[in-house]
């Protein structure tokens, strides 16, 4: 599980940073990637990255401002032109379906794969044996959502020493035990999975927020996350402007991370007034005063989610 940032700027792109899009790579977990927001130029960023659009499985849109959705029609159309056939599901606020259908229809774009658009107002959006995705409304000028992605716990590895003590050799019986079944040893002794499985592998939790100013739903949504991605459009000296435009400061993001008890905070969605990494350093410094384990997201930056 890794996050790959395709754009970290707010509002408009600059020569240094594109507008918002984040890929969650789940290559080991489900051989796919999920995209969070798709600002203009996202498909160009993908071309310059190790990401493959054939791996795209789901797109989660936080809100309908242009810097988060203007890249969608082109990306969907190009994916089809490249021969991708696997289905894609898009989740977003009310209006996202009309935007996609109108854009593709008027431009006479063809999508030769199954495309499902799910409009939502929060709650549990997706769940299977491996993952659960839930959403909550934030506080922005447009209806904006945050997403909590929970990887479910997985069975632990087999205890090879215990298996040897039972006289069990590598083969199909190992697979049955791994699936939680019971097996018999060559001498007829019954061995239960619980006898030979190590502790379960704890699933990871990632919370990715859309644009927001401080609000009540942030902490419950992010509670105990291994990684929180939080917008930090301004330094705290501009908190009045941040509040007026429904954005957050780096310090406010750090306060949310501290209150939610997350393990790591990733700042993104920076105002274009902060031209480069040198100008972003003060945002990082003020956030670290409250939450030391904070990092600045960078375009084309790959960040593993630690277990």
**Which residue numbers belong to the known binding site?**
63, 65, 67-68, 140, 211, 269
| Lookup result for tokens 């379906």 | 97
Contacting residues for 154 by C-beta, under 8 A, at least 6 apart = 200, 201, 203
Annotated binding residues for Zn(2+):
63, 65, 67-68, 140, 211, 269
**Look-up: residue for tokens 């021969």?**
83
Nearest of 222, 212, 217 to residue 247 by alpha carbon: 212
d(CA 127, CA 152): 10
Residue 89 CB contacts under 8 Å (≥ 6 apart), including other chains: 57, 58, 59, 115, 116, 117, 118, 126
Active site residues: 67
Q: How far apart are the first and last CA of the chain?
A: 9
**How far apart are the C-alpha atoms of 113 and 135, rounded to whole Å?**
26
Helices (H) and strands (E) in the chain, counts: 12, 16
Q: Are the CB atoms for 131 and 149 separated by under 8 Å?
A: yes
Q: DSSP string of 181-249? A: --EE-TTS-EE-HHHHB-PPBPPPEEEE--S--S-TTHHHHHTT-SEEEEE--B-GGGHHHHHHTT--B
Structure-token pair, residue 248: 């957050």
Cβ neighbours of 119 (radius 10 Å): 14
Which residue(s) pair with 131 in the sheet? Answer: 151
């Amino acid at each position: 599980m890794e996050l790959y940032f395709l754009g970290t700027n707010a509002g408009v792109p600059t020569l240094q940073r594109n507008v918002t899009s984040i890929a969650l790579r789940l290559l080991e977990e489900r051989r796919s990637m999920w995209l969070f927001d798709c600002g203009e130029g996202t498909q160009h960023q993908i071309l310059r990255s190790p990401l493959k659009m054939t791996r795209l499985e789901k797109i989660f849109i936080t809100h309908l401002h242009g810097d988060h959705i203007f890249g969608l029609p082109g990306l969907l159309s190009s994916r089809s032109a490249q021969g991708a056939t696997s289905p894609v599901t898009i989740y977003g606020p009310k209006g996202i379906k009309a935007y996609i259908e109108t854009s593709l229809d008027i431009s006479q774009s063809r999508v030769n794969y199954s495309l499902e658009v799910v409009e939502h107002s929060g709650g549990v959006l997706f769940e299977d044996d491996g993952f659960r995705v839930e959403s909550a409304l934030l506080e922005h000028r447009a209806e904006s959502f945050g997403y909590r992605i929970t990887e479910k716990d997985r069975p632990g590895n087999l205890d090879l020493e215990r298996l040897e003590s039972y006289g069990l050799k590598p083969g199909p019986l190992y697979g049955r035990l791994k699936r939680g079944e019971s097996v018999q040893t060559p001498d007829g002794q019954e061995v239960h999975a619980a006898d030979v499985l190590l502790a379960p592998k704890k699933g990871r939790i990632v919370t990715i927020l859309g644009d927001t100013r401080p609000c009540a739903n942030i902490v419950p949504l992010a509670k105990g996350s291994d990684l929180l991605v939080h917008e930090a459009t301004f330094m705290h000296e501009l908190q009045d402007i941040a509040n007026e435009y429904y954005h957050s400061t780096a310090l406010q993001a750090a306060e949310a991370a501290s209150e939610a008890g997350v393990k790591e905070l990733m700042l993104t969605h920076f105002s274009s007034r902060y031209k480069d990494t040198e100008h972003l350093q003060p945002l990082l410094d003020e956030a670290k005063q409250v939450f030391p384990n904070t990092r600045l997201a960078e375009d084309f930056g790959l960040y593993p989610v630690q277990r």
